């Protein structure tokens, strides 16, 4: 067990429904003080790599304000108090954002979005034989969100070109592809 940093004190700097930033005063094992060290607290996230029976990937197209542009993304979101477990959160996000459902779910991986700054983890699920069965239920501000399907092989071949702009989504999609190759 390697020694960890000690948190000498901690202060909330910005907090509401959408953000939670604290500033910690830390000491490394060799006694160096690191102050302030900002930590962003989030609930865990889920990503869903959903494939239709025709091996198409279920995608959404969404405006992302920090980058100021539209992005092709895989469905996902935050684990919610309503969710009995993490897989349930993945099922709920897929259904709400796309109307697709699946009876064949598999956990792919659990990673950290950014362990330097974010407290949370991101859990990736593979949903096979996904079919459009429900009406979508979008949150306010998501009214321009479009659902589409594209051939999974095409997406994989265009990842380095940036077809999915979000790096964490690329991790989820490539690891799902590796898991699928072994199924």
- Residue of 9, 11, 110, 133 interacting with a copy of itself (CB under 8 A): 110
| 64 neighbors 97 (Cβ within 8 angstroms) | no
CB of 167 to a copy of itself, least distance (A): 4
Classify 31 as helix, strand or coil.
coil
Residue 26 in tokens: 């830390």
Pairing of strands 122-128, 69-73: unpaired
Q: Does 2 bind a copy of itself (CB under 8 A)?
A: yes
Give the list of residues 6+ apart from residue 31 with CB closer than 8 angstroms, or none.
none
In terms of phi and psi (left: phi > 0; alpha: psi -120 to 50; beta: otherwise), the region of 145 is beta
List the interface residues with a copy of itself, window 27-56 (CB under 8 A). Answer: 28-30, 32, 34, 36-40
CB of 80 to a copy of itself, least distance (A): 17
CA 91 – CA 120 distance, rounded (Å): 19
Q: Does 180 bind a copy of itself (CB under 8 A)?
A: no
Q: Which residues bind a copy of itself (CB under 8 A)?
A: 2, 4-5, 13-14, 16, 18-19, 21, 24, 26, 28-30, 32, 34, 36-40, 63-71, 108-119, 122, 140-141, 143-144, 156, 159-162, 165-168, 170-172, 174-175, 178-179
């Amino acid at each position: 067990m390697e020694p960890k940093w000690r948190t000498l004190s901690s202060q909330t700097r910005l907090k509401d429904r959408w953000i939670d930033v604290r500033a910690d005063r830390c000491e490394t094992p060799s006694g160096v003080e690191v102050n302030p060290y900002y930590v962003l607290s989030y609930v865990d996230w889920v990503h869903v790599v959903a494939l239709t029976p025709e091996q198409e990937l279920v995608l959404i197209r969404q405006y992302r304000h920090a980058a100021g542009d539209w992005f092709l993304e895989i469905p996902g979101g935050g684990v919610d108090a309503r969710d009995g477990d993490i897989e349930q959160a993945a099922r709920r996000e897929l259904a709400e954002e796309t109307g697709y459902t699946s009876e064949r779910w598999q956990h792919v991986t659990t990673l950290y979005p950014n362990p330097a700054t974010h407290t949370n983890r991101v859990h990736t699920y593979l949903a096979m034989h996904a079919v459009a069965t429900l009406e979508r239920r979008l949150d306010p501000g998501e009214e321009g969100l479009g659902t589409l399907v594209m051939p999974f092989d095409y997406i994989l071949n265009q990842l380095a070109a940036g077809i999915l702009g979000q790096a964490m989504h690329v991790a989820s999609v490539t690891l799902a592809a590796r898991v699928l190759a072994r199924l």
